[in-house]
Amino acid sequence: MTQGLPLRKDVPTDKKWNLKDLFTSDDDFYHTLEHVLQSSKDFNKKYYKKLNHIEIIEEALKEYEDILIQLDRLYNYPELRVSVDTGNEDAQRVNAKLNTTSGKIAGLLSFVDSEILGLSDSAFNELKQNSNYPHFIKQLQDRKPYQLFIDVEQVLAILTPTLRSPFELYGTTKSLDIDFESFEHAGVTYPLDYATFENEYEDNPDPEFRRKSFKAFSTAIRKYQHTTAATYNMQVQQEKIEADLRGYDSVIDYLLQEQAVSRDLFDRQIDVIMSDLAPVMQKYAKLIQRVHGLDKIRFEDLKISLDPSYEPDISIEESKDYIYGALNVLGEDYVKMLESAYSQRWIDFAQNKGKDTGAYCASPYYTHSYVFISWTGKMAETFVLAHELGHAGHFTLAQNHQNLLESEASMYFVEAPSTMNEMLMSNYLFNSSQDPKFKRWVIGTILSRTYYHNMVTHLLEAAYQREVYQRVDQGESLTASLLNQIMLNTYEKFFGNAVEMTDGVELTWMRQPHYYMGLYSYTYSAGLTIGTVVSQKIKNEGQPAVDRWLETLKAGGSKSPVELAQIAGVDITTDAPLKATIKYISDLVDELEHLTNQIESEY
């Protein structure tokens, strides 16, 4: 039997992030939590029912911001700890303590929005024109028609930890309860869990191994489909209740409010990609089938590399050359941030038992970003790291130039800086060699890693999610069989007859935490659309385009997504950027086919 992953305690320190910049110890966390609770009580006593003129509101917002900075720090610490070691009981206790206290804090602070929205129209407009937080005030104004009575808002705030329970329950089921059985291949027994399947087995070049692992994985998670469906139904039904309470026409409109974009932008992103990108990706799937000599291409074949034998191994140390080389176009200060990420241990590279799957970047305003990744030594992971460091660069610049209340860009825009970095990485690698096999590997990677993952996988999640919310708006309750049907129909609609849908495809909805984060999934394709167009502008225009992009990043959340894109030179009020991006992807597939023909004729 092959060896499983090491325990967290056995991972070398240099492969783990340093959380001491957030809190030196759990005791430090508990002390700060108590201090923030007391500060919130003092704040409530000082300002409750007194936010009635501009001077006192501005004074209160500054103190409010200071409390939120500490809260942001508190929220990040347990999340970071649990994600790298889900079974760690100390980390679970820290998280539990935060959950029992955070609702009290939220209730004490909830009056701020309500009292500001209670101002007369003239006073509100004067505040918006003279405030140090103009975009924050504007966002409040946009929510005014949906604001509830102050006491109701307070109750909802207090219930925040309870309303987050479905997400935590989903994580517990996924990480701790599912019993994965090992499987055998070629006389060897292989251990199985979420991390090994998604990080190592899913793109294995051996089709028999790949299909066996997918079958074993699907068999394991299928046993938990009803519990997971009930958990997800709990999430969407409580979102429906709040949407109805606030007077929104639909859950989708309610969830889009915080993104500051219209329903048109949401629907267009899904509809255009489902119609225009689908034939391009079907062609790409057929190319995978041809190169690998498969009798048919199945769902579990879609993530394999076009040429897995070619992909070079890369160490963490070697990754620096590629990261710095690709991203130095963004300037000296940006590269210094990248160097700090490595040298000051912002990045958790470890692979260990109990670590969550995927990759993410957390960026507490109090300190610096933290990047979560499981480094397997594959060259393609330079794209993943560039992506997450794109978030780090964005938040570093935004937090250096904006106050907390205006530092975080809308969810619609937040994936643009990360996916833009992936494009810079692909351009850098593509220009570093004239070898057609290397060029094919680069394009194959950008298609499979960047575009398939971000624009197809997440987009199909979004199409599925839209169908789910439409049914919830119609009063339906979600069951495992219904979710399986919606998921399978979504994949079949996109891939048509080009890809065979294996048993287990329908369970894909069980694998994604994004469904517990509002309408997050579709924003990957929105961000990649902006990122693709901007990367082409940088390629064609040079420094002027870089300067515009850096100004966009510095703006953080002080502008709407439409305004942020405009600073970068992209008009997302039309479908032109999306159409241009799909055309670019189509050209990549054509180039991939051309390089394949050239390689097959020469080798």
**Rounded mean pLDDT of 547-576?**
96
Q: Which of 177-181, 333-337, 449-453, 525-529 has the lowest mean pLDDT?
A: 449-453
Per DSSP bridges, beta strands 183-185 and 188-190 are antiparallel
Query: Same domain for 130 and 194?
Result: no
Q: Please check the confidence at residue 385 and state whether its pLDDT lies above 50.
A: yes
Q: Which residue, of 120, 146, 172, is where some domain finishes? A: 146
Query: Same domain for 553 and 580?
Result: yes
Q: Which of 377, 412, 415, 379 is nearest to 394 (CA)?
A: 415
Q: Which of 192-196, 274-278, 346-350, 599-603 has the lowest mean pLDDT?
A: 599-603
Q: Please check the confidence at residue 194 and state whether its pLDDT lies above 90.
A: no
pLDDT band at 378 (very low <50, low <70, confident <90, very high): confident
Q: Residue 154 domain-assigned?
A: no
Please write the tens of the pLDDT for every residue from 400-416. Answer: 999 999 999 999 999 99
CATH code of the domain in which 102 resides: 1.20.140.70
Query: Same domain for 109 and 201?
Result: no
Q: Which of 307-311, 366-370, 380-384, 465-469 has the lowest mean pLDDT?
A: 307-311
CATH code of the domain in which 384 resides: 1.10.1370.20
DSSP E strand stretches across 324-373: 347-348, 360-362, 370-372
Q: Residue 370 domain-assigned?
A: no
Sign for the pseudo-dihedral over CA of 194, 197, 198, 200: positive
Query: Same domain for 173 and 61?
Result: no
Query: Same domain for 235 and 307?
Result: yes
Q: Which of 560, 564, 555 is nearest to 399 (CA)?
A: 555
**What range does the domain containing 288 cover?**
163-343+377-602
Query: Same domain for 59 and 184?
Result: no
Query: Same domain for 137 and 219?
Result: no
Catalogue the long-range contacts made by 134-143 (C-beta closer than 8 Å, 24 or more residues apart): 134/558, 135/406, 135/557, 135/558, 135/559, 135/560, 136/61, 136/405, 136/406, 139/260, 140/113, 140/116, 141/117, 142/257, 142/260, 143/113, 143/117, 143/257
Q: Residue 151 domain-assigned?
A: no
Please write the tens of the pLDDT for every residue from 429-464. Answer: 888 888 888 889 889 888 988 888 888 888 899 999
The CA–CA distances, whole Å, from 193 to 53, 86, 354, 435, 559 equal: 57, 13, 9, 37, 42
Please write the tens of the pLDDT for every residue from 231-252. Answer: 999 999 999 999 999 999 999 9
Please write the tens of the pLDDT for every residue from 12-69. Answer: 999 999 999 999 999 999 999 999 999 999 999 999 999 988 999 999 999 999 999 9
Q: Please check the confidence at residue 356 and state whether its pLDDT lies above 90.
A: no
Q: Please check the confidence at residue 557 and state whether its pLDDT lies above 80.
A: yes
Query: Same domain for 116 and 192?
Result: no
Mean pLDDT of the chain: 93
Per cent of the chain over pLDDT 70 is 99
**Rounded mean pLDDT of 421-435?**
89
Q: Residue 358 domain-assigned?
A: no
- Alpha helices (H) along 446-542: 458-473, 480-495, 522-541
Q: Please check the confidence at residue 3 and state whether its pLDDT lies above 70.
A: no
Query: Same domain for 50 and 25?
Result: yes
Query: Same domain for 241 and 308?
Result: yes
Q: Which residue, of 102, 119, 146, is where some domain finishes? A: 146
Q: Please check the confidence at residue 143 and state whether its pLDDT lies above 60.
A: yes
Query: Same domain for 417 and 543?
Result: yes
Give the span between the Cα atoms of 255 and 262, in whole angstroms: 11
Query: Same domain for 185 and 136?
Result: no
Q: Please check the confidence at residue 1 and state whether its pLDDT lies above 50.
A: no
Structurally, how many domains does the chain consist of? 2
Q: Please check the confidence at residue 322 and state whether its pLDDT lies above 90.
A: yes
Question: Nearest 5°: phi and psi at 206?
Answer: -80, 115
